[in-house]
Chains A and B, each alone.
Chain A
Amino acid sequence: METILDVRAITMDFGGLRALDKVSLQIQKGEIAALIGPNGAGKTTLFNCLTGIYHPTAGEIILHPTGAGPKIINGLKINQIAKLGVARTFQNIRLFGGMTVLENVMIGRHGRTSSGLLGAIFRPSATQNEEKEIVRKSYGILEYMGLAGQVNELARNLPYGAQRRLEIARALATEPVLLLLDEPAAGMNPQETNELDNLISQLQRDYELSILLIEHDMKLVMNLAQNIFVLDYGEEIARGTPQEIRNNPAVIKAYLGEEADAEVN
């Protein structure tokens, strides 16, 4: 197994508040890993550090992109990290509501295409071909995600579940090697969650992705993840396979309080 993402003791301070305290995690190529923890544990902060939205106060984030040497990505700009192959979805859906479903995915192709201003104005055959390729690939992804029927719909008019899927489709369009999913099942009913479960493992296989997901739905996490990292108050309190995490006393304590309370539940 080779590592694709190596987070080494990153610390993130907001003023006097330490949101992440020397957190380390490693993700292997082709694995689905999960990041869990109670609310406010710093999970999304970690995602924001990984994608360049925040710059960690200390520590290193090393990405091993395919076909290139390891690269330290903390300090890079958001779009540079996206180009290196880290894509994400957002906890509160952030689609381009006023654009169509297809256009949302086409935006995902931005970093993988190159036509500029002059290309746009004079539209040489290179640009035309690139444009056709963007549309073709985007449509292909939408078909894969089961959204082909709504390509010309405005994104904000989609039902909630479809919006979540569109966000994943948009992330796929950036050709990621590492996909970060921030609470993909939030707000979904059990049946939708079940579908998502299948979709994520299928995605991982078909697109040869490594996936890190934040999720509160334990059933989904235990089903999908080969490796689980648990955060609490910005510190890593446990890591391991689902089986190990389920029986880890520190995790039970973080989630349910003291042992005595757990028995009541």
Chain B
Amino acid sequence: MKFTEELKRSAYIALWFILLTFPIMVIKVNTIENIVVWRWVNLVVIGLSAFVLSFFWQLYLRNKKSSTEMTPEKISTLHRLIENPKIYRPAVVIIAAIALVFPFAASHYQINIMTTALIYVMLGLGLNIEVGLAGLLDLGYVAFYAVGAYSYALLNYHFGLGFWTLLPIGALLAAFAGILVGLPVLRLRGDYLAIVTLAFAEILRLVLENWNDFSFGPSGISNIPRPGLFGINLTPEQSAVYMYFILIALCLLTVFVIYRLQNSRIGRAWVAMREDELACQAMGIDKTKAKLAAFALGATWAGMAGVLFAAKTTFINPASFTFLESAMILSIVVLGGMGSIAGVIIAAFAIILLPEYLRAFSDYRMILFGAALILMMIFRPGGLMADRRRQYQFQQPDAGENS
């Protein structure tokens, strides 16, 4: 590794920035006492930050250059580890054991944030169907989340239906909303789709905020019941543990379903649609059906997550369903790696849990978040764990296989 070239160039760039900003950042004239204040600290800060940033930038450029020269697909070490049964089997057992023991060892607060993280795992995996697999950039995913949450809250308020009845109903209503959004945007793709979905989500949020008779407006709905367990009265602590296990189970279900979808005829059709919309139609794929299925299925998980969210917090209002929430879920998918299940799970935990545990740095949260995203895009543009296509093994033709 020779970084001397990059170091030298970065040093020049830093020097250049110091010179450029010297008059405004270092020299300060105090007009009251008529003296010049020399702020040498600023000079050091600017010099160092210019140096570091330009160094990373040049590393990135070099990285990019070498990656275009590389012909065989490089398999990341993470993938090699995960695909090795000697490593992943014990790892799965350990993670399962920790997940089982966790609620009995951790505090109420810990369980609560873990439950939140699990909700985001579901959301991330659901959005992954739309964005990662089918390539439909949806910036309004939070709308489906809101549909789920409000279905639970309102149907419970008006008709007294319980959590377990409303969980599938919320999912269905969200899927229906997915189709409703999907129909008018069938012809759109990329940026245009992103803008329209964003608008849909904002429309829904504004309706919820202003239609007082329907949704109780900004004051929201409170006293939403927690999920029941055969009529047993649970304390808030017990109920949090219960909630945690419901979410673990539903996350496992999500992973299972999405894993199966990914390697199915429909999953392949989604990926083909992402790669080339025209060619996939020429291969006999019905674009309309494939798109609507992706929207509906993605929305289904958001709807379920919404029901769970409402049941967990027992209070919802439109402020929980802003664009920032969509952006958060989208960054989970992007950070994790489009189309990669394991990557999205890891990213969801990282994005939700890290800010909770790093409360001390909460002032810098957004800066750190932004920096993390930029660095990710530079060094791992495919996400934490880029999606890898399934590999098939075949006997050699002379082995007499029936092909």
Binding-face segment, B256-264, B316-324, B362-370: B256-264
Q: Mark interface residues in B282-309 (1 if CB within 8 Å of A CB, else 0).
A: 1111110000010001000000000000
In chain A between 87 and 130, which residues have their CB closer than 8 angstroms to a CB of chain B?
Answer: 87-88, 90, 94-100, 102-103, 106-108, 110-113, 115-117, 119-121, 123, 127, 130
Which chain B residue shows the least CB distance to A86?
B282
Binding site for A on B (CB under 8 A): 71-73, 257, 260-261, 264-269, 271-272, 274-276, 278-287, 293, 297, 389-392, 394, 397, 402-403
Q: How far is the CB of A246 from chain B (nearest CB, A)?
A: 33
Could you tell me the dominant secondary structure of chain A's interface residues? Answer: helix
A99→B257 CA distance, assembly (Å): 21
B389 touches A117 (CB 8 A): no
A90→B277 CA distance, assembly (Å): 13
A97 touches B392 (CB 8 A): no
B284 touches A111 (CB 8 A): yes
B284 touches A96 (CB 8 A): no
Q: How large is the interface on A (under 10, 10 to 19, 20 to 34, 35 or more residues)?
A: 35 or more
Q: Mark interface residues in A62-96 (1 if CB within 8 Å of B CB, else 0).
A: 00000000000000011100110001101000111
B279 touches A96 (CB 8 A): yes
* A-chain residues with CB within 8 Å of residue B297 when the two chains form the complex: 117
B402 touches A113 (CB 8 A): no
Contact of A107 with B267 at beta-carbon distance under 8 Å, contacts A78-B281, A79-B286 already known: no
Which chain A residue shows the least CB distance to B276?
A94
A166→B271 CA distance, assembly (Å): 18
* B-chain residues with CB within 8 Å of residue A154 when the two chains form the complex: 73, 389
A51→B272 CA distance, assembly (Å): 18
Q: How far is the CB of A84 from chain B (nearest CB, A)?
A: 10
Binding site for B on A (CB under 8 A): 51, 53, 77-79, 82-83, 87-88, 90, 94-100, 102-103, 106-108, 110-113, 115-117, 119-121, 123, 127, 130-131, 134-136, 139-140, 143, 148, 151-154, 157, 170, 173-174
Q: How far is the CB of B191 from chain A (nearest CB, A)?
A: 20
* A-chain residues with CB within 8 Å of residue B271 when the two chains form the complex: 96, 98-99, 103
A120 touches B265 (CB 8 A): yes
A102→B272 CA distance, assembly (Å): 13
B402 touches A123 (CB 8 A): no
Contact of A112 with B403 at beta-carbon distance under 8 Å, contacts A106-B268, A107-B268, A123-B260 already known: no
